[in-house]
């Protein structure tokens, strides 16, 4: 039996996911089923729980039978999805933070192209991620998506860096990686102009505050335990990044999907074990894992 097991007090769903799931569950109290455009949360165990209540994840609107309402998840969608939905009822659970980001990107794009100018809009995010697709859709795809600083030379090869540049981040990216990317952009602009870009480079702080505070506190939590069990769905990109962060500061970090993945030989009797997870990992799953660990 380990010496102690503690659940990360900051772990659990972010506000956007709590809101989306709450609305889906409220709807399903009075309806047999609800179609969700994409997985409402990147966590298999939570998806199974919601599927038992009638939530059906589909890849596109074509998979939703005529007349059935459709839920838009916290990641948001491009305008084309709303147009395609036509008169179909939409339960729009786009997170207010993402909604604000979509609007900011539209305004920035208009500024960058005012009076015939041709500035560049850069989005720091995962290529193909639903939130990024929703952001790109706000500007008809006219933005450069960069996943990391190493991609910059190729991504900016056609950009006119003598013009203004505005940069936004997907809400769940690492604040440190975003800073590194912005420094890379400033250097690339300086190399072209011969002087720092100054006010011609606008960096928007759009990493979600809840995510940023998770990044800040998780390392501390991982350090304060002998071993860490990090619970997250296989498809959660935020889970992958937060897990790596934990493992960097505490090499005895193990990533699992549920307690069935735990190997008791990972732990020693004198260990204090920390249990944490992604912003898509439900609290109930963390509690279940903690109970299992206490019984080892």
Residues that bind ligand SF4 (CB under 6 A): 14-17, 74, 95, 97-98, 171-172, 208, 210-211, 279
Residue 250 or 279 having the CB closest to ligand SF4: 279
Residue 138 or 172 having the CB closest to ligand SF4: 172
In the complex, the smallest distance separating the C-beta of residue 172 from ligand SF4, rounded to whole angstroms, is 5
Annotated catalytic, 131? yes
Residue 41 or 189 having the CB closest to ligand SF4: 41
The residue annotated as part of the active site, out of 25, 84, 89, 131, is 131
Residue 16 or 282 having the CB closest to ligand SF4: 16
Structure tokens at 15: 């506000």
Residue 14 or 55 having the CB closest to ligand SF4: 14
> How distant, in Å, are the alpha carbons of 66, 139, 187, 202 from that of 120?
40, 12, 15, 11
In the complex, the smallest distance separating the C-beta of residue 17 from ligand SF4, rounded to whole angstroms, is 6
The C-alpha atoms of residue 203 and residue 76 are separated, in whole angstroms, by: 22
In the complex, the smallest distance separating the C-beta of residue 46 from ligand SF4, rounded to whole angstroms, is 14
Burial 241-274 (b: 16+ CB within 10 A, else e): bbbebbbeebebbbbbbebeebeeebbeeebebb
In the complex, the smallest distance separating the C-beta of residue 3 from ligand SF4, rounded to whole angstroms, is 33
Sign of CA dihedral 157, 105, 37, 125: positive
Residue 6: exposure state from Cβ atoms within 10 A (0-12, 13-18, ≥19): middle
Catalytic residues: 131
């Amino acid at each position: 039996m380990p010496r102690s097991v503690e659940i990360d007090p900051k772990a659990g769903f972010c506000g956007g996911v709590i809101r989306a799931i709450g609305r889906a569950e409220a709807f399903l109290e009075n309806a047999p089923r609800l179609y969700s455009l994409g997985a409402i949360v990147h966590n298999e165990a939570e998806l199974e729980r919601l599927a038992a209540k009638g939530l059906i994840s589909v890849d596109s609107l074509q998979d939703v039978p005529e007349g059935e309402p459709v839920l838009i998840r916290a990641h948001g969608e491009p305008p084309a999805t709303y147009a395609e939905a036509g008169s179909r009822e939409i339960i729009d659970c786009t997170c207010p933070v993402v909604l604000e980001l979509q609007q900011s990107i539209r305004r920035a794009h208009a500024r960058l192209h005012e009076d015939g100018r041709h500035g560049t809009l850069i989005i720091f995010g995962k290529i193909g991620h639903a939130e990024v697709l929703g952001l790109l859709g706000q500007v008809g795809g006219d933005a450069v998506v960069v996943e990391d600083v190493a991609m910059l030379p190729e991504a900016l090869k056609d950009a006119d860096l003598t013009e203004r540049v505005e940069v936004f981040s997907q809400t769940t990216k690492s604040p440190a990686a975003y800073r590194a990317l912005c420094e890379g952009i400033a250097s690339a602009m300086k190399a072209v102009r011969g002087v720092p870009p100054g006010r011609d480079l606008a960096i928007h702080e759009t990493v979600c505050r809840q995510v940023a505070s998770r990044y800040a506190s998780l390392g501390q939590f991982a350090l304060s335990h002998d071993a860490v069990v990090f619970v997250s769905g296989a498809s959660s990109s935020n889970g992958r990044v937060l897990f790596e962060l934990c493992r960097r500061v505490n090499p005895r970090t193990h990533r699992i999907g549920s307690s069935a993945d735990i190997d008791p030989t990972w732990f020693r009797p004198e260990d204090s074990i920390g249990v944490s997870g992604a912003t898509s990992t439900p609290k109930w799953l963390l509690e279940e894992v903690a109970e299992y660990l206490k019984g080892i």
